[in-house]
Amino acid sequence: MTLQKTDALRHDWELSEVQALFDRPLNDLLFQAHSIHRAHFDPNAIQISTLLSIKTGKCSEDCGYCSQSAHHNTELEAEALLSLDEVIEAARQAKSEGADRFCMGAAWSRPNKRDFPKVLEMIKAVKSLDMESCVTLGMLDSDQAQQLKEVGLDYYNHNLDTSPEFYGNVISTRTFQDRLDTLNNVQQAGINVCSGGILGMGEERKDRCSLLIQLANMSKHPDSVPINMLVQVEGTPLFGEDEIEPLEFVRTVAVARLMMPHSVVRLSAGREEMSDEMQAMCFFAGANSVFYGERLLTTDNAGTNRDQKLFSSLGLKTSLEEKKACKNKHSEQNVASMV
């Protein structure tokens, strides 16, 4: 069996190459992806993020998968922006449960002048807890991106969602180029990019290939790549869509790892519907991050008890545990040097 070397950072992927990766025998694909993953990451460590909806509902965008769109009748009750105290309390709770990154999402097309300064204060508060910060606030201009950088934001999430070819079947109120422009503003400001997509929206394999090409051919690979499985919400246009085959999802994770060997690949939405065995295959294929907690914005997520049991059975240690272990070891070494 001859394995193509794909751990070099490339930004020139073509569709035929990516299709060939998807078409490989599954065992070969997983072996290659795991080998690349092991070369760049601890294969038994997992990064934990928690996501909080800080402003829920009445979004002006018409994303076909989203329960928060004002265009869809999902019976979701809209909520105003959370207070700073509420966000701090949620961040502290997330850290106590093992998360080292706290992500905040607002159902906006783009930040407004009234609430954006309040979000900046939230980011500073999260940073004061010694946690990494991430926000997803919709489209950004360069000035907004710079303000986020100045308060210490670590990551900005803005998913491409799907391929440029399939995009119009899912969203009409903003263009694919709008999303690319926001990502460019984020990168130009020096903020880490978190960008991925959603599988199971009716797209074909060629669309999944094209999505990964868009991400991997960016001038700098996204630092974090969330791979979501559609969570079907009654009242949205995509409710009732055929579900993606589990092994096709695993293949997508593996190909993402091969194309972006240094990026963190996150299992995001849809984990509640994934079996432990499916998640284990995804971790072997190169996924090394999850969203942790009972809720992801407005949809259910795998519970913390289930996750803790799964991580224990797989021998996975969280990145926060790793940081604590390293800190304790460093302290012990300092004490020893003083004796």
Going by C-alpha positions, the residue among 15, 30, 11, 3 that lies closest to residue 209 is: 15
> Residue 285 in contact with residue 253, Cβ under 8 Å?
yes
d(CA 222, CA 191): 10
d(CA 328, CA 79): 42
For the chain, the straight-line distance linking the first and the last C-alpha, in angstroms and rounded, comes to: 55
Q: What pLDDT, on a 0 to 100 scale, did the predictor assign at position 2?
A: 43
Going by C-alpha positions, the residue among 138, 74, 133, 75 that lies closest to residue 106 is: 138
The residues that bridge with 133 in the sheet, in sequence order, are 102
Q: What pLDDT, on a 0 to 100 scale, did the predictor assign at position 24?
A: 97
Q: Is 19 helix (H, G, I), strand (E, B) or coil?
A: helix
Global pTM reads: 0.86
Going by C-alpha positions, the residue among 122, 85, 117, 121 that lies closest to residue 104 is: 122
> Residue 134 in contact with residue 104, Cβ under 8 Å?
yes
Q: What pLDDT, on a 0 to 100 scale, did the predictor assign at position 328?
A: 46
Going by C-alpha positions, the residue among 250, 243, 251, 325 that lies closest to residue 21 is: 251
Q: What pLDDT, on a 0 to 100 scale, did the predictor assign at position 338?
A: 54
Residues catalogued as catalytic: 59, 63, 66, 103, 134, 194, 266
d(CA 63, CA 70): 10
d(CA 146, CA 152): 10
Tell me: the pLDDT tens digits for 143-157? 999 999 999 999 999
Pull the structure tokens for residue 187: 């990168």
Instruction: Give backbone dihedrals phi and psi of 298, rounded to 5 degrees, phi first.
Output: -120, 5
Task: Mention every residue, 6+ apart, whose C-beta is less than 8 A from residue 337.
Answer: none
Q: What pLDDT, on a 0 to 100 scale, did the predictor assign at position 42?
A: 94
E strands, 222-263, where? 224-229
- Residue ranges, the chain, pLDDT below 50: 1-4, 295-300, 326-331, 335
d(CA 265, CA 222): 10
95-107 burial, b at 16+ Cβ within 10 Å, e below that, comes to bebbbbbbbbbbb
d(CA 308, CA 206): 35
DSSP percent split of the chain into helix, strand, coil, nearest 5? 40, 15, 40
Q: What pLDDT, on a 0 to 100 scale, did the predictor assign at position 108?
A: 85
d(CA 142, CA 189): 7
Tell me: the pLDDT tens digits for 110-127? 898 999 999 999 999 999
The residues that bridge with 48 in the sheet, in sequence order, are 290
Q: How far is CA 153 from the centre of its chain?
A: 16
